[in-house]
Amino acid sequence: MTDYSTIDFDSLVALAGDDEVVTHSYVRDIRLASGKTLALLTLDNGRDHTRPNTLGAATLLEYAATLDALKARAAAGEIDAVAVTGKPFILAAGADLSKVAEIPDKATAKKFVQLGHYALAKLGEVGVPSFAFTNGLALGGGLEIGLHADYRTVDASAPALALPEVFLGLIPGWGGATILPNLIGIENALKVVIENPLKQNRTLKAKDAFDLGLADAIFPSVNYLEDSLKWADGVINGTVKVKRPNEPGKLERLAKWDIAIKIARDTLAKRIGTVPQAPYAALDLMKAAKSGTRAEGFQREDEVLAELIAGDQLQASIYSFNLVQKRTKRPAGAPDKALAKKVTKVGVLGAGYMASQLALLFVRRLQVPVVITDIDQARVDKGVAYIAGEIDALLGKGRISPDEANRLKALVTGTTDKADFADCDWVIEAVFEELEIKQNVFAEVEQFISPEAVLATNTSSLSVEQIGSKLAHPERLVGFHFFTPVALMPLIEVVKTSHTDESTLSTAMVTAKNLKKNAVITADTPGFVVNRLLAVLLGEAMKAVDEGTSFETVDRAIAPLGLPMAPSALLDLVGLKVGAHVLDTHHAAFPDRFYRSENLHRLAEYGTLLEKDDKGKVKGFDKGALKLVAGGKNPRTAEEILVALEDGLAREVKLMLDDAVVAAPEDIDLCMILGAGFPFQMGGVTPYLDRVGASERVFGGTFHNPPIRGVEA
């Protein structure tokens, strides 16, 4: 096994330079009620909550030295326990990714990984009971700090606990892949390490973490530290017995462990393909964690994580991460926030499924009155009932309190009288995707609302400017395109027409932020960004099918892009009629570039493409659907289809940039990552197109110079 004490870690500090924001380890002794002494180590980088504690080389060395000193004090009988906690609201957010991205080679990467193991493991080696008091945010290495303690508590208000590494092209390599499955069981560990990160980087609330077994006790924030100290005192003197019902036993190791890993591996292959390295590496480590020692597991983590840090997928992931974390905070073209109008009441035109989802989101996030309308009272009542049911479902899951549920339901009303929209500051439509219908509902409601009220359309493919052509004040109309499911998808395409004024645009951007969504400003052009590029994909897919290529071959051809679903599944999700409409719209606008498929219209009339069982699980392709599209005489190979798609995407992206649909390639990448699930480890669609040579083939250049490292396929 590796002897970490013989490694020269000081060289890492010199390599990092002087700009590490060091998270210091401060210690104070606390006399417990029993008379025992607990040494409380507090991690604090001296910054406010907007700059979380992070774990760089200097931080880890100071932490290790502090724990060594506490171990010596424990041996001398000066202290009876050690606990680690963080500055207010934050334990730690893991390693500083900007520094990780600068690591020059695998040897240095391995040394940094070993430093993490060397430092964090010391909490479990102090010679007295050790505790982690997770008082707030704990991500990645921050969560792994606690895994090395003997016991753990969590603040009930902690906003996010997670091991997000596989989302970033890494693995939880400071003990997470080895310790976690042996602490909470393999299925729970797979949820934390694999499933949650790949669901738009989902995190755990404190109660969820406690239920999984990541903490032994949970206390309200009002007296969190006092309650944790009292609980720790009970553990030390034996009056508190810690139970861990999720800890795996012999039967789980013999019968369940390998099966759970296999199911996870098969699920990953279907969902994301086999291109991403990190999730499969994490699975291998967790499978190996079933047996052997921690030290052996840590050594495996050292090797795997060093390999990933030095690899191209991490570099691409860091590019994606910076887009999502930084560019979204300073959207290109966004006007001054001071120009934004206050939104104190929202009107939703429509009461169908999409409109009801929008109403639910607005009332939850903005906490203002929301009124919905439709063509008759029955539809309105159905929409209000749906929203109330969704609020009750949130209550049942413990996501909101009974008081909040009652308050939210009281804020939602329905009407068939547009005059009830008179005091709305923001009115959004989500009616049928037909130009004249949208024009008419806006023209009708405009006569009742203030000239200052903002009008927004959720259209996915129609011209926003044409939608507003019957308005007296088209300057207060903006596109506000959501993606489904509305509650989960993080992107809103904010569409600016030639009439949209700065105040309206500013209001849209601020409202998107208040809805906890990321907004990208686009020009008013067919499909905006995401649907325009997906139309390229669906068009190429249907063209290949019409030529005689099987759907299986088409799905396999496009798999190297790593998208969340194959073209056939995407068509099934959005609906065959919607898919046909999207292609028709783009073909009408750009007939020389976008393909229109008669076969897709036949499928839409037929009504199904995929055969499913009673539970909705896909069994395969519907035989009747396949007969409808049969007859093509010029099938293509998967390789030919992929190259054609790559070139089509490169052509369309270049045209979008030339036409200033968005400000920069980064905005297209951001839209595709957040709106279409383009994988982080690809680094966005434009770096991918550079790497595979499509940019060079299409326009003789690249979108980025130098190209951004990452995986090709």
| Count of C-beta atoms within a 10 Å radius of residue 251 | 9
Paired tokens of 424: 């709305």
At residue 465, the pLDDT reads 97
**pLDDT, the chain, mean:** 94
Q: What is the 3-state secondary structure (H, E, C) of 611-641?
A: EECCCCCEEEECHHHHHHHCCCCCCCCHHHH
At residue 484, the pLDDT reads 85
At residue 610, the pLDDT reads 93
How does pLDDT run across 540-582, given as a tens digit for each residue?
A: 999 999 999 999 999 999 988 878 788 999 898 888 998 998 8
Bridge partners, residue 206, by sequence? none
Please provide residue 83's backbone torsions phi and psi, each rounded to the nearest 5 degrees.
-135, 145
What is the reported pTM?
0.83
How does pLDDT run across 412-443, given as a tens digit for each residue?
A: 999 999 999 999 999 999 999 899 999 999 99
Whether the Cβ atoms of residue 711 and residue 318 lie closer than 8 Å to each other: no
Q: Which comes out higher in pLDDT, residue 315 or 253?
A: 253
The string of DSSP codes covering 295-328 is: HHHHHHHHHHHHHHHTSHHHHHHHHHHHHHHTGG
Percent of the chain with pLDDT over 70: 99
At residue 711, the pLDDT reads 47
How does pLDDT run across 177-214, given as a tens digit for each residue?
A: 999 999 999 999 999 999 999 887 899 999 999 999 99
CB-neighbour burial class of residue 700 (10 A; exposed 0-12, middle 13-18, buried 19+)? exposed
d(CA 543, CA 596): 8
Residue 270 has pLDDT above 80, yes or no: no
Average pLDDT over residues 482-504: 94
Among 411, 462, 397, residue whose Cα is nearest residue 436: 462
d(CA 555, CA 421): 47
| Count of C-beta atoms within a 10 Å radius of residue 329 | 9
Q: Packing angle between helix 530-546 and helix 665-676, nearest 10 degrees?
A: 70
Whether the Cβ atoms of residue 151 and residue 131 lie closer than 8 Å to each other: yes
Please provide residue 460's backbone torsions phi and psi, each rounded to the nearest 5 degrees.
-105, -15
At residue 461, the pLDDT reads 83
How does pLDDT run across 596-648, given as a tens digit for each residue?
A: 999 999 999 999 999 988 887 888 999 999 999 998 999 999 999 999 999 99
Look at strands 24-31 and 37-44 and give their pairing: antiparallel
Q: CA angle, corner 145, sides to 140 and 148, nearest 5?
A: 125
The string of DSSP codes covering 264-279 is: HHHHHHHHH-S--SHH
How does pLDDT run across 218-229, given as a tens digit for each residue?
A: 999 999 999 999
Please provide residue 639's backbone torsions phi and psi, each rounded to the nearest 5 degrees.
-65, -40
What spatial distance separates the first Cα and last Cα of the chain, rounded to whole Å? 36
User: What are the start-end ranges of the E strands in 460-613?
Assistant: 477-481, 491-496, 518-523, 610-612
How does pLDDT run across 57-106, given as a tens digit for each residue?
A: 999 999 999 999 999 999 999 999 999 999 999 999 999 887 888 888 89
Q: What torsion do the CA atoms of 230, 235, 239, 244 make, to the nearest 10 degrees? A: 120
d(CA 350, CA 354): 8
At residue 618, the pLDDT reads 85
Paired tokens of 680: 């982080």
Across 33-47, 238-252, 357-371, 607-621, least confident range:
607-621
Residue 678 has pLDDT above 90, yes or no: no
Residue 713 has pLDDT above 70, yes or no: no
d(CA 293, CA 666): 45
At residue 171, the pLDDT reads 96
Paired tokens of 160: 């996010």
Average pLDDT over residues 249-274: 90
Provide the pLDDT confidence category of residue 300 given band limits of 50, 70 and 90: very high
Whether the Cβ atoms of residue 522 and residue 494 lie closer than 8 Å to each other: yes
At residue 516, the pLDDT reads 95
At residue 712, the pLDDT reads 43
d(CA 489, CA 677): 9
Q: How far is CA 426 from the centre of its chain?
A: 28
Q: Which comes out higher in pLDDT, residue 275 or 113?
A: 113
Residues 6+ apart with CB under 8 A from 330: none
Residue 482 has pLDDT above 90, yes or no: yes
Whether the Cβ atoms of residue 52 and residue 34 lie closer than 8 Å to each other: no
